[in-house]
Structure 1
């Protein structure tokens, strides 16, 4: 009887403890948070989203174009850079080489595929004001063009975050090695890769706060790939060791340049 009572007491105590301290499986992933809502992404999705926003910024396209691109990529690939798909479809937008979009090795490159999508989109007369699914369908010519409409709200959330309009909206987290000295971050390659999407000579110099936060979001989305431990910008910092907690105040960083460590 005494044993049973003890088991009940211990069980109740553990239940109350877990209620006060929720168990969170940090794992790895990314989160986008804006005043309207938040979305969970995996790291690959965040990287594709960051590239799409950068390519749009290089072309000086409006945010509406980015929303359309996101809704399209969500429907076509769940915002992932797929190596295959229906028939000969490839990449985040599932573009088909047989329809003249490019070679498979080109379409698997998010910078190239996003560029091809935007090149086609800007030729759609009045795309900024027409219903999203009509604009997307005019580019994609899929079997069911109405399906793009269901992703418009998610597209708006992603666009607000990855274009940099909402500061500090993108954060990611991933395991860090224990007991070993990590290799130095490859900031040079990160700058080169960003330059491919955003334009040569970028080098994380921020001509405006919006552009700076676009770069900062891109850097955080790619932090695991390039071994970045910290990204600092505009009075805030993101640290990989506690990336799940997002951006924190840090007066060491100004708005002039996105700093990578």
Structure 2
């Protein structure tokens, strides 16, 4: 499971709280050289971002409004790579599909943040693997199963759900009862970020991902297959895939670049789905954004808002032509509880 972090050292000698740290010689020239390298790196990424029309190196941000939004309190946010965001969204979506509460999602995310930093690792301590560093030898499944984020998240929730009163336990206690880690207190430091992620993915927050718009065609069938694994008992259903040619996409497809053909994959909240369906819609719209780079998704819309890959990928915006333009959305209603996912053709 959990691998111990290295102890603090100076010159190879372990340091404790009551041990003085060795004095380090100052090297002004090295400091100046390091500063110049830092400036060059920052400049590179600025140029890269501008040359891509705001795309730049891809990264994702999950954010929620501060507790006193009306008084101008800052947002709380977590930044991560697209792969980390996709794994976080999968963990949250599996929890929602199983009907688990937000507290369970937060416990799962904090656990994965500690065990793998939200990376699907093919190695670990002894035979530990995957997002949660689960061990085949301890009955968590085959290596192939554990390396599947949907499976590994699912079995984590299954075992968490077997713990009586887990939602009332401190996060470290609940996570430890599942993981049996040698370092149970390590989960605590991830609780604030995991809480932000949970709110951003399932509640009153949002996830955005920046980076260049997809340059190659995607496979809408693959998108549908992945979504079908996450729907579960969420009260959503998929609609037939719709092909849209470039003339109907307009200039707003693919992040404002020239028009490209797209395929539309749509999820609709079932009648009477209630809050569970709304919660599922929120988490799956975030999942689509997080997987935009991997699945060639050009834009996503839900309710009144839309996200577009590329230069507009740093925010959700009011849906005008972006998500339901008159030419391609006359059968849609912004209030109908639909997630519309557009895949580059």
- State the Cα deviation string for residues 70-101 of structure 1 (Å, max 9, x = none): 11000000011111111110000000011110
CA distance in 1, matches of 2:282, 2:291: 14
Deviation at 1:212, TM superposition (A): 1.7
| Runs of at least 4 residues off by over 4 Å | 22-25
Q: 1:44 aligns with which of 79, 83, 96?
A: 83
User: Between Structure 1 and Structure 2, which shows a larger proportion of helix residues?
Assistant: 1
Matched ranges for 1:141-220 at <5 A: 141-163=180-202, 165-167=203-205, 169-176=206-213, 182-183=216-217, 185-199=218-232, 202-203=237-238, 204-206=267-269, 207=273, 208-220=277-289
- Cross-structure match for 1:32: 62
CA distance in 2, matches of 1:46, 1:218: 8
The answer to whether the Cα contact below 8 Å between 1:52 and 1:110 also exists between their aligned partners in 2 is yes
Matched ranges for 1:9-28 at <5 A: 25=49, 26-28=56-58
CA distance in 2, matches of 1:174, 1:232: 18
- Cross-structure match for 1:7: none
The answer to whether the Cα contact below 8 Å between 1:134 and 1:145 also exists between their aligned partners in 2 is yes
Q: 1:247 aligns with which of 297, 301, 316?
A: 316
User: Between Structure 1 and Structure 2, which shows a larger proportion of strand residues?
Assistant: 2
CA distance in 2, matches of 1:42, 1:158: 13
- State the Cα deviation string for residues 227-253 of structure 1 (Å, max 9, x = none): 111111111111112244211111436
- Cross-structure match for 2:20: none
**What RMSD in Å do the two structures reach over aligned CA positions?**
2.0
C-alpha spacing 1:226/1:156, structure 2 compared with 1 (3 Å): same
Unaligned runs of 5+ in 1: 1-21
Deviation at 1:23, TM superposition (A): 7.0
Deviation at 1:24, TM superposition (A): 8.0
- Cross-structure match for 2:117: 78
CA distance in 2, matches of 1:210, 1:116: 21
Q: TM-score, normalised by structure 1?
A: 0.84
Deviation at 1:174, TM superposition (A): 2.3
Deviation at 1:173, TM superposition (A): 1.9
User: Per the alignment, in what secondary structure is the counterpart of residue 229 of structure 1?
Assistant: strand
CA distance in 2, matches of 1:92, 1:202: 28
CA distance in 2, matches of 1:232, 1:121: 33
CA distance in 2, matches of 1:234, 1:155: 25
Which one has a bigger Cα radius of gyration?
Answer: 2
CA distance in 1, matches of 2:237, 2:200: 20
The size of the alignment, in residue pairs, is: 235
User: Per the alignment, in what secondary structure is the counterpart of residue 56 of structure 1?
Assistant: helix
CA distance in 2, matches of 1:130, 1:23: 48
CA distance in 1, matches of 2:304, 2:132: 36
- Cross-structure match for 2:6: none
Alignment partner of 1:126 is 2:165: yes
The answer to whether the Cα contact below 8 Å between 1:132 and 1:152 also exists between their aligned partners in 2 is yes
CA distance in 2, matches of 1:187, 1:232: 16
